[in-house]
Chains A and B, each alone.
Chain A
């Protein structure tokens, strides 16, 4: 069965500090990997995606993520967090073999303290 694990439900970081959000997946096929961000009551905004090729992916808003096949991980990073980054972050996995539907992790709520 396909599954995505985001082990951290909440994370609090100080403004200007670095950030890493963890994501691990279990998939029986070559995965496509995504990070989405959601503000309260809003839809999902795509931060970045990995299909193939370079395992370090650059996204919007200064975010990046690294695909590590050996660890089944796709962690999201940002070198310096801004107060406006406070939101919920979802890791998602899809695969052509499963019709490209997305399976989401449970999400990580990011709080930024000034």
Chain B
């Protein structure tokens, strides 16, 4: 049974560019959340998707947007990249109503130069 799958694993972007990160949730999970983890820091909640809608959002600017597809997979988009957006982006999935018991993917390491 595959867990949470994220792609790509690493990428390098230039300041001002746009990036799209992808996440496939664990089988049987329909809720997807995204977290940003800067180097040496704890993960910070970006937003959560359920039933193809953004249900909750953390303290991140509108440059961060997302989408959930009918198959429950999700994308995280970041526009106008800043150097400070360099981080490990973690996707987490759970069954609806699982009381936050999330399964995390291995993350996408984004470096902005």
Residues of A that sit less than 8 Å from B by CB: 32, 34, 36, 41-46, 49, 51, 90, 94-96, 99-107
Tell me the interface secondary structure of chain A in the complex. Answer: loop
Q: Which residues of B contact A105 (CB under 8 A)?
A: 42
Interface residues of B, count at CB 8 A: 27
Q: In the complex the two chains form, is A42's CB within 8 Å of B106's CB?
A: yes
Q: In the complex the two chains form, is B109's CB within 8 Å of A41's CB?
A: yes
User: Among B41, B42, B101, B109, which residue has its beta carbon within 8 angstroms of that of A46?
Assistant: B101
User: Among B41, B45, B90, which residue has its beta carbon within 8 angstroms of that of A103?
Assistant: B45
Residues of B that sit less than 8 Å from A by CB: 4, 33, 35, 41-45, 48, 55-56, 58, 88, 90, 92, 94, 98-107, 109
Please report the C-alpha to C-alpha distance between residue A20 and residue B70 in the assembled complex, in whole angstroms: 43
